[in-house]
Structure 1
């Protein structure tokens, strides 16, 4: 039998880190992954895959990954079910990560919380502050 999932995508939000009653770290995040094919309107569709990470990998993921950051996940697909507060049976399909690779650089930056890998929100050089950009024609490559 084979149950293997390999994913590369971008995080839709910062990872959530929790601990079990026994003290084991468990992290969760969602990867957004564009499909190769387009739909009938010519638009790419995106799948949102929930990922669960355990132990030291969960702690590292929480420390170094952030919303929008690209990551590669190698793991297995798991289907579980539970009963919610309304008494309904809920089925959950998720990827349990065995390995997580942090893709893209973080340049060793630290955010206001002192966590590396999560640059400040205002660190985007392409963000518009409403002022015109002054670039001479000599600086353009074309």
Structure 2
């Protein structure tokens, strides 16, 4: 079973584009994890943030890009999709993203400044395939699965 549920904050407004008859929106979710770390005799609380790439298609993409903006809380379920491409140097690069099948509007913006002001690392923004790669990827296209 390939099912993922995510709840986090949008790192920016959705990037949208049209590929043939498919409307596509993509973004990153910032998801915080707070944990305790023991160093010698002291316990400290630490925080780490993961940036999860998400992609929505068609009506879901239109709705999300219209009503959700940077800093909004996002709750969605979907599936993990991996892909590969060849970069300018001829090297094969592998990427992953979560294809969102269902999402809900969750009230409120992030009030703490810590997550909202975190910038998405530049190398992560480049890790997503360019929009031409989506031309062959459809929301229900199972033909690219290796099994």
Q: Same fold (TM over 0.5)?
A: yes
Aligned CA RMSD, in angstroms, stands at 1.7
- State the partner residue of 1:14: 13
Where relative contact order (Cα < 8 A, 6+ residues apart) is larger, the structure is 2
The answer to whether structure 1 residue 3 and structure 2 residue 7 are counterparts is: no
Deviation above 6 Å: which 4+ runs of structure 1? Answer: none
- Picking from 16, 23, 26, the partner of 2:24 is 26
- State the partner residue of 1:126: none
Q: Deviations over 1:56-88 (max 9, x none)?
A: 000111101111000101000111111122222
Structure 2: distance between partners of 1:65 and 1:87? 37
Is contact 2:37-2:46 (8 Å) kept?
Answer: yes
Tell me the secondary structure at the aligned position of residue 60 of structure 2: helix
- Picking from 99, 103, 106, the partner of 1:100 is 103
Is contact 2:26-2:53 (8 Å) kept?
Answer: yes
Distance 1:47 1:39, change over 3 A: farther
Distance 1:34 1:24, change over 3 A: same
Unmatched tracts of structure 2, length 5 or more: 39-43, 110-147
Output the TM-score relative to the length of structure 2: 0.65
- Picking from 33, 45, 50, the partner of 1:42 is 45
Tell me the secondary structure at the aligned position of residue 103 of structure 1: strand
Is contact 1:11-1:71 (8 Å) kept?
Answer: yes
Q: Looking at CA atoms only, which structure, 1 or 2, has the larger radius of gyration?
A: 1
As a proportion of its length, which structure holds more helix?
2
Output the TM-score relative to the length of structure 1: 0.68
The answer to whether structure 1 residue 53 and structure 2 residue 56 are counterparts is: yes
1:110-129 equivalences under 5 Å are none
Tell me the secondary structure at the aligned position of residue 64 of structure 2: helix
- State the partner residue of 1:72: 75
As a proportion of its length, which structure holds more strand?
2
Shift of 1:39: 5.1
The answer to whether structure 1 residue 63 and structure 2 residue 62 are counterparts is: no
